[in-house]
Amino acid sequence: MATDPNRVIVFDTTLRDGEQSPGCSMNLHEKLEIAHALKELGVDVIEAGFPIASPGDFEAVQEIARRVEGPIICGLARCNTADIDRAAAAVKDAARPRVHVFLATSAIHREFKLKMSREEIIRRAVEGVKRARDQIEDVEFSPEDASRTELDFLAEVVEKAIEAGATTLNIPDTVGYAVPSHYAAIIRHLKQHVRGIEKCVLSVHCHNDLGLAVANTLAALHEGARQVECTINGIGERAGNTALEEVVMAMRTRQDYYGLNTGINTKLLFPMSRKLSHVTGMTVQRNKAIVGQNAFAHESGIHQDGMLKERSTYEIMRPEDVGISRTELVLGKHSGRHALRQRISDLGYHLTDEQLNKVFDSFKQLADRKKEVYDADIEALAESQMQVGQSNLWSLAGFTSTAGTGSQTSAAVALKHRDGRILRDAASGNGPIDALFAAIDRVTGTELKVVDYRVRAVTQDIDAQGEAYVEVEHNGKRLSARAVSVDVVEASALAYLEVINRVAARQTRDRLKPTDDIPHEVVPPVT
Ligand code: KIV
Ligand code: ZN
C-alpha cells in the first residue's frame, strides 16, 4: 500500500480491541456507523472485530466488509483452524480483506497460559499463517506479549511467520510493559536480525498501562515501523490503546523531527472523537490531549496575553486543524435551515435530508426554550438524530416527577414498547432521579445496579442543555449511555432507558452466543 517510505499506515482497532473494553460495547448499527466514520477519517485498515467471538461479532465484521468501501477490513483470529476460517469467511467480501492471526510468545504465556514449548509455538504460528494465507492474501501476524518475549526467540518466530507468508508483522506490547527506549530497541533488533523483514510492513500495537502507549509507538516509528495500531480516544483493554488522534497529531506537529505522514483528515478528529463518545457513552476526560474540552483552552493571564500577541507563543497546533472551531457561530430561533446545514457540516456530520429536517425541528424547539444555540447543542442534536432509526425496545412517551423539602419524592412514567403499547407506572424514591429510575424499572421489568450517574451542562450558559450519563452493571458487565435535554430529569430518563435498551440488545446477542467467553488458553490444534 505505502510506496512512500515515510507514509505510515493507520490501523484502527476501535471496533475490536476498543470495543472489548468495559462500557464500550456497541451494537451492529453503531459499529457500522463508526466504521463509516473511520473511513471518512481516512484510516487505512479497520480491524472490525473478532469473528469467532459470537454470531453478532461475525455479522458485524461481515457487514462492515460488505458495506464499508476503501479501507482494508480485518478480522482477528487466534492461531487455530476454527478462528482462522471464521475470520476469513467474515472478511472475504471486502474489496481488500485481511486476517490477523495472533499467538502468545513470551515465556510467561507459554508456560502458564498455553503450556507449549518454543518449538510448538513456532509450529503453530507457521501453520496458522499458512492456513490464513491459503484463504486471504493479506495476513498479519502478532506474537502476543512480544515486548516480554526473549529477543532471540521473538526474532525466530517472526522470521518463520514471514517465511510462512505473513505480509504485516505486528509487535504488541500487550500488557503495556515497554518503555520507549526498550521498545525502540526491540524494533531495531528485529530489523537487524530477521531475514526477509524488509518484505513486510512492521507494525506496532501498544497498551497504555504505564501511560506510555503513544510514546512507545512514536519510538517504534522512529526506528522504522510503518503501521500504527490505535483506537479513537485511546479506548481499549484496561488503560487503553494508543490514541489515534494523539499519535497522528504528534507525527503531524513534529513533522520536522519524524518526517512521517498519514492519510488522516485531521479536521475530522474531533467530530470522530465525539461520535465514539456518544455511541459508547464513554466520556472523554476534560484534559485529554487533542480532543479534550480543555485541550485548547488558555486560562492563565500570561498565556492569554501571549496568545493575543502571537498564537504560536502558547499554541503548537491550531484547534481548527483537529476540527474544533475557534469562533463559535451562535444560532438562534431566527436562523434558517441553510445556516444550520452549514454548521452541521462544518462540525463534521453528514446527515441525510430526512435527518437534517428532524434536527431542524428539534433545533427550532430548542431555540424557543433557549436564547442561544451553541456548537455543542447542535452536536448533541445531530448525534441523537443519528441514533434514531435503531429499533429500540423502549422509548419515553412522558413522565412527571415531584420533589421538595420534606415531601415524599415520586415519579410516574409512560413508556412506549417497540410493539406500540404504552405502559405506565409510578414509584417513590430518594429524590426525583431515584424515583424516576424505579418507575422505569417497574414498567420495563428490569432491575439494574447503577454504578455511575452524572449530569453536566453541554454549554456554559444558564439555560444550557443538560447531558446525563448513566452506567450500570448487568451480569458482571458494565454498560453506559448518555442523553441530552434542556430538562436534566428528562435527560436522565432518556439515558437510563438507552441503557435498558442496550441491556436488552446484549441479552438477545448473548442468547445467540455459543460460549460466554473466549478462553485464551484453549488453543485447538491447527489441522
Ligand atoms: O494486545 C494485544 O496483544 C492484542 C493482539 C491481539 C494484537 O490485542
Ligand atoms: Zn491489544
Ranges of CATH 3.30.160.270 domains, the chain: 394-512
| Fold topology of 9-280 | TIM Barrel (3.20.20)
C-alpha distances in Å from residue 406, one per residue of 359, 391, 409, 428: 41, 41, 9, 14
Given this model, what pLDDT does residue 514 score? 39
Centre of ligand 1 from the C-alpha of residue 13, in Å:
10
Minimum-distance ligand 1 atom for the alpha carbon of 175: 1
Q: Could you identify the residue written with the cell 491459503?
A: 134
Instruction: Name the most confidently modeled range: 172-186, 351-365, 373-387, 416-430.
Output: 172-186
pLDDT at 347 over 50: yes
Number of residues in the chain: 527
Centre of ligand 1 from the C-alpha of residue 174, in Å:
6
Centre of ligand 2 from the C-alpha of residue 510, in Å:
23
Instruction: Name the most confidently modeled range: 331-335, 369-373, 425-429.
Output: 425-429
Minimum-distance ligand 1 atom for the alpha carbon of 170: 7
Output the residue whose Cα is nearest ligand 1's atom 5.
144
Minimum-distance ligand 1 atom for the alpha carbon of 13: 8
Please list all protein residues whose beta carbon sits less than 5 angstroms from ligand 2, which is an ion: 17
CATH code of the domain occupying 394-512 = 3.30.160.270
CA 283 to chain centroid, in Å, comes to: 11
pLDDT digits (tens, 9 = 90+) for 76-122: 999 999 999 999 999 999 999 999 999 999 999 999 999 999 999 99
Ranges of CATH 3.20.20.70 domains, the chain: 9-280
> 449 is written with which cell numbers?
445496579
- Indicate the DSSP class of residue 525: P
pLDDT at 17 over 50: yes
Over pLDDT 70: what percentage of the chain?
Answer: 92
pLDDT band at residue 365 using 50, 70 and 90 as cut-offs: confident
In 3D, which of 351, 359, 357 has the Cα closest to residue 381?
359
> 133 is written with which cell numbers?
494465507
Minimum-distance ligand 1 atom for the alpha carbon of 172: 3
Given this model, what pLDDT does residue 518 score? 38
pLDDT at 469 over 90: no
In 3D, which of 74, 62, 19, 29 has the Cα closest to residue 232?
19
Centre of ligand 1 from the C-alpha of residue 198, in Å:
22
Centre of ligand 2 from the C-alpha of residue 75, in Å:
14
What is the average pLDDT score of the chain?
89
Centre of ligand 1 from the C-alpha of residue 143, in Å:
8
Q: Which of 54-68, 76-90, 505-519 has the lowest mean pLDDT?
A: 505-519
Mutate to test the pocket of ligand 1, among 50, 144, 158, 229 (most ligand atoms within 8 A of CB): 144
Question: In 3-state terms, the chain is what percent helix, strand and coil (to 5)?
Answer: 45, 20, 35
pLDDT at 455 over 60: yes
Output the residue whose Cα is nearest ligand 1's atom 8.
17
Mutate to test the pocket of ligand 1, among 19, 174, 229 (most ligand atoms within 8 A of CB): 174
pLDDT digits (tens, 9 = 90+) for 112-133: 999 999 999 999 999 999 999 9
Contacts of 185 (CB under 8 A, 6+ apart): none
pLDDT band at residue 328 using 50, 70 and 90 as cut-offs: low
Centre of ligand 1 from the C-alpha of residue 229, in Å:
10
Output the residue whose Cα is nearest ligand 1's atom 1.
174
169 vs 129: CA distance, rounded Å: 11
More confident residue, 346 or 147: 147
Centre of ligand 1 from the C-alpha of residue 144, in Å:
6
Q: What is the mean pLDDT of residues 472-488?
A: 81
Minimum-distance ligand 1 atom for the alpha carbon of 16: 8
Minimum-distance ligand 1 atom for the alpha carbon of 229: 7
pLDDT at 463 over 70: no
